[in-house]
Structure 1
Amino acid sequence: MRVLHLGFEDPRMPGAGGGAVRTHQVNRRLVEQGFEVTVLTTRYPGWNEREEDGIHYVPVGLGNGANRWNRLVAYVACLPFEVWKRRGNIDLVVEDFFAPFSTMAAPLWTGRPTIGIVQWLHATDKARQYKLPLHWMERLGVRTYRRLIAVSQGIADRLSAMNPGIHVDVIGNGVDPAAWKPEPHRGRNVLFIGRLDYSPKGLDLLVDAWKQCCPRIDGDLLIAGGGPDEDKLRAAIHEAGLSQRVRLLGWLSGDEKFRALSDARLVVVPSRHETFGLVAIDALATGTPVIAFDIPCLREIVPPGAGWLVESFDVSAFAEEIARRYAQPDLGGVATFGREFATGYNWDALATLQAGSYRESLDTLSRDATGLQEADYSERV
C-alpha cells in the first residue's frame, strides 16, 4: 500500500513531541511490512528532504520555518497542493491532527481515501488562548471523516461525541525497546520530561508544587525537554526562588533519555491535558514510578500499583504526593509492576494493528466511493 502521511512534525525537529515519535516508529515498521510511506512535515531550521528507515520525509512550506507560526501558516497553505500533485501515486492519505485546530478536513480535498490519526484534541483550550473559534473548526473537521484512529479510549469517546456515525480504532503508543536497557534502581532526583509548553504541560503547577515540597526532598527537580516556553519557565523558576533546586537538562532522546528516566526516583507528569502520555509509559518501562494528575488518558496508563494519580490540578496534593512517595522506603514492588504493565505497549504489535486498520479503511472507503460513483451514474442515466 502507498501511504501519504500528513505528519506535521518531523521527529528530527528540535522540540518535536511524542506524536512525531509515534509517526516514525509505526511507519518504519509498516515499511518493513512492504508499505511505501511518504511523510509531509513542516519545515524548520536545518530541514532536509531525506529517506530514514525507509520512510521518505518531505518538509513542506516556505523558507526555513524559523518560528512555529511561520511553519504552521506555510504548511497549511502549501499542503493541499503538495498532496494534489502526488495523488496519482497514493492509495491512502493519513492526516495527523495537529495544533491549534486539529484537522484541515483532509477528506474534502485530498481526492483519495483518507483517514485521520488523533493524538490530541486541544482546540477548545487553544480557542480560549487565542480568542478564535478553533473548537468549531475541530468539530466540523471531525465530521468530514468516516474512519479515524485514536491513541486512547478517552480520545475515541470524544470523537464519537462529535461525530456519532464515525468508526474509531483505538491503537495506543508503544515503548521504545531502548527503555528496557537500564537496570531499575532507586535514584535521587525527581524528573519531568516533555515539551516545554507552559500551561498544557502544567509546568506552572509543577513549579508551585515543587516550591512546597522541595524542603522535604534531598534531590533536585530535573526538567528535560525543549519548546516554545523555555524562557517563561526559566523566569518562573527564578521568581519562585528555585534556581538552586531545579535544573534544566535540555532536549534528551534515545539512550540518554532512558538513562535519565531510570536514574530518577520519581517521574512527574503534571499535564492539564494528555492524549496518551508517552513519557509516563516510558518511565514505567524503565522501572521508575509516576505521579500524575487524574485526567483522562493518563488514568488509562498509570494503573494502581505502578504510580499514583492526584486529584486534578490540586497543587498542594501533588506536592504532598511527591514528598510522601520520595520518602517511601521500598519502591521495588511498584517498579516491577510498572515494568510488567508497560510490556503491553509494544510498537511491533501496535504497528500490525495499524496496518490492519489501514487495509480495512482502504477497502471500506474505496468500496463506498465506487458505490457513490455508480449511484451518480445511474441517476444521470
Structure 2
Amino acid sequence: MRVLHLGFEDPGMPGAGGGAVRTHEIDRRLAAKGFRMTVLTTRYPGWSERTQDGVHYVPIGIGRGGNRLTRLLGYVFLLPLEVHRRRAAADLVVEDFFAPFSSMAAPLWTTRPTVGLVQWLHAREKARQYGLPLHWVERWAVRRYRRMIAVSQGIADRLKAMNPDVHVDVIGNGVDPAAWKPEPKPGQDVLCIGRLEFGGKGLDLLLAAWEECAGRVDGQLLIAGSGPDEAKLHSVIEERGLSNRVRLLGWLSGEQKFQAMSEARLVVLPSRQETFGLVAIEALAVGTPVIAFDIPCLREIVPDSAGWLVPPFDVDAFAAEIARRYPEAGLMEMGSQGRAFASGFNWDRLAEMQAESFRDAVAEAAPSGPHPPGRSPHGN
C-alpha cells in the first residue's frame, strides 16, 4: 500500500513532540511490512528531504522555517498543492491533526481515501488564546471524515460527539524498548520532562506548586526539554527565587532521557491537556511513579497502582501530593507495577493495528462491491 502521510511535525526537528515520535515509530514499522510511506512535514532550520528507516520525509514550506509561524503558514499554503502533485501515487492519505485548528478537512480535496489521525483536539483552548473561532473550524473538519484513528478513548469520545457517524479506531502510542534498559532505583529528585510551554504543559502550575512544597522535599526539581517558553521559564524561576531548587537539563532523548527518568524519585506531569501522555507511559516503563492532573488521556494511562492523579489544575493539591508521596517507602514496588502496565504499549502491536485500520479504510472506499464494515476490535 502507498500511503501519503500529512505528518506536520518532522521527527528530525529539534524539540519535536510525541506526535512526531509516533509518526516515525509506526511508519517505519509499516515500511518494514512493505507499505510505501511518504510523510509531508513542515520545514525547520537544517531540514532535508530524506529516507529514514524506510520512511520518505519531505519537508514543505517557504524558506528555512525559522519560526513557528512561518512553518505553519508554509505548510498550510503548500500542502494541498503537494498532495495534488503526489495523489496519483497514493492509495491512502492520512492527515495528522495539528495546531491551532486541528484539520484542513483533507477528505474534501485529496480525492483519495483519507483517514484522520488525531493525537490532540486543542482548538478550543487555542480559540481562547487567540480570540478566534478555531473550534468551529475543528468541528466542521471532523464532520468531513468517515474514518479516524484516535490515540486515546478520551479523544475518540470527543470525535464521536462532533461526528456521530464517524468510525474511530483507538490506537495508542508505544514505548521505546530502550526504556526497559535502565535499572530502576529510587532517586532523590523530582523530574518534569517535555515541551517547555506554560499553557498546555502547565509549567506555571508546576513552579507554583514547587514553590509551596520545595521546603518539604529533599531533592531538586529537574526540568528537561526545549520549547517556545524556555526564556520565560528561566525568568520565572529567578523571579520566584527558585534558582537553587530547580535545575534545567536541556533537551534529552533516547537512553539519556530514560536514564534521567529512572534516576528520578517521581515524575510529574502538570499538563492542562495531553494528546496521550507518552511521558507518563515512559516513566512507568522505567519504574518511576507518576503524579499528574486528573485529565482525559492521562486518566487512562496512570493506574492507581503506579501513580497518583490530582484534581485538575489545583496547585495546592499538586504540591501536597508531591510532598506526601516523596518520602513513601513503597515506590520501588509501585515502579514494578508501573513497568508491568507499560509493557502493554508495544510499538509492533500498535503498528499492526494501524496497518489493519489502513487496509479497512482502502477496502471500504473500493468502488466495486459492497463496502465491508472494516470494524476492528478496537473501533468505536
Q: What TM-score results when the alignment is normalised by the length of structure 1?
A: 0.96
Alignment of 1:136-151 (within 5 A): 136-151=136-151
Q: Which residue of 2 aligns with 1:379?
A: none
CA distance, structure 2, for counterparts of residue 351 and residue 119 of structure 1: 15
Q: Secondary structure at the match of 1:86?
A: helix
Partner of 1:160, secondary structure, is helix
Task: Tell which deviates more after alignment, 233-242 or 24-33.
Answer: 233-242
- Quote the residue 2:52 is aligned against: 52
Matches within 5 A, 1:194-213: 194-213=194-213
For 1:9, the aligned partner's letter is E
Summarize the Cα distance change of 1:368–1:204 in structure 2 as closer, same or farther, 3 Å threshold: farther
Cα distance 1:223–1:369, how it changes in 2: closer, same or farther (>3 A)? farther
Aligned to 1:315: 315
Q: Which residue of 2 aligns with 1:305?
A: 305
Distance 2:17 2:217 in 1: 30
In 2, Cα distance between the equivalents of 1:205 and 1:369?
55
Alignment of 1:168-207 (within 5 A): 168-207=168-207
Question: Cα offset for 1:362?
Answer: 0.9
1:14-67, CA deviations, whole angstroms, 9 ceiling, x for partnerless residues?
A: 111000000000001001111000000000000000010000000000100000
Structure 1 residue ranges, 4+ long, deviating more than 6 angstroms after superposition: 368-371
Q: Cα offset for 1:231?
A: 1.1
In structure 2, the gaps of 5 or more residues are 372-380
The equivalent residue for 2:363 is: 363
Residue type of the partner of 2:152?
A: S
Query: By how many angstroms is 1:366 displaced?
Result: 2.7
Secondary structure (helix, strand or coil) at the match of 2:338 reads: helix
Distance 1:172 1:47 in 2: 28
Q: Paired residue for 1:63? A: 63
Mapped to 2, the partners of 1:99 and 1:369 lie a distance apart of 38
* SS at 1:256 equivalent: helix
CA distance in 2, matches of 1:59, 1:141: 24
Q: Give the partner amino acid of 1:123.
A: A
Q: 1:166 maps to what in 2?
A: 166
Equivalent position of 1:249 in the other structure: 249
Amino acid in the other structure paired with 2:185:
H
Matching residue's letter, 1:71:
R
Equivalent residue for 2:376? Answer: none
Separation in structure 2 between the aligned mates of residue 102 and residue 85 of structure 1, nearest angstrom: 23
Residue type of the alignment partner of 1:347? W
Q: CA separation in 2, counterparts of 1:77 and 1:56?
A: 21
Cα distance in 1 between the residues matched to 2:104 and 2:195:
23
* Residue type of the alignment partner of 1:82: E
Q: What TM-score comes out, normalization by structure 2 length?
A: 0.96
**Deviation of the 1:111 alpha carbon:** 1.6
Amino acid at match of 2:332: G
Structure 1 counterpart of 2:124: 124
Aligned mates of 2:162, 2:270 — CA distance in 1 = 27
| Deviation (angstroms), 1:367 | 3.8
Change in CA separation of 1:92 and 1:328 when aligned onto 2, cut-off 3 Å: same
Distance 1:345 1:368 in 2: 37
Note the 1:1-381 alignment, pairs <5 A.
1-367=1-367
Q: Give the whole-Å Cα distance in 1 for the aligned partners of 2:236 and 2:144.
A: 42
1:28 match: secondary structure:
helix
3-state SS of paired residue (1:212) = helix
Matched to 1:290, the amino acid is V
Shift of 1:369: 11
Q: CA deviation at 1:5?
A: 0.4
**Deviation per residue, 1:331-368 (Å, 9 max, x gap):** 12100100000011000000000000000011112348
Rounded to whole Å, the distance in 2 between the matches of 1:240 and 1:208 is 9
Greater alpha carbon shift after TM alignment, 340-349 vs 232-241: 232-241
Q: Distance in 2 between matches of 1:369 and 1:291?
A: 52
Cα deviation per residue 1:285-315 (whole Å; 9 max; x = unaligned)? 0000000000111010001111000111111
The structural deviation recorded for 1:234 is: 1.3
**Helix, strand or coil: the match of 1:6?**
strand
SS at match of 1:85: helix
Q: Kindly state the Cα deviation for residue 232 of structure 1 after the two structures are TM-superposed.
A: 1.3
Give the letter for the 1:302 counterpart.
V
Structure 1 residues 224 and 368: CA distance shift in structure 2, 3 A: farther
Q: Letter of the aligned partner of 1:202 in structure 2?
A: G
Q: Take 1:73 and 1:277, find their aligned partners in 2: how far apart are those partners?
A: 27
**What secondary structure sits across from 1:296 in the alignment?**
coil
Q: The residue matched to 1:66 in structure 2 has which SS?
A: coil
Q: What runs of 5+ residues in structure 1 fail to find an aligned partner?
A: 372-381
SS in structure 2 at match of 1:265: strand
RMSD: 1.2
Please give the alpha-carbon distance, in whole angstroms, between the structure 2 residues aligned to 1:97 and 1:243: 37
Rounded Cα–Cα distance in structure 2 between residues aligned with 1:134 and 1:367: 35
Residue 104 of structure 1 and its aligned partner are, at CA, apart by 0.3
Partner of 1:378: none
Distance 1:45 1:370 in 2: 48
CA shift at 1:370, angstroms? 9.7
% identity of equivalent residues: 69
Give distance in 2, aligned partners of 1:199 and 1:104: 24
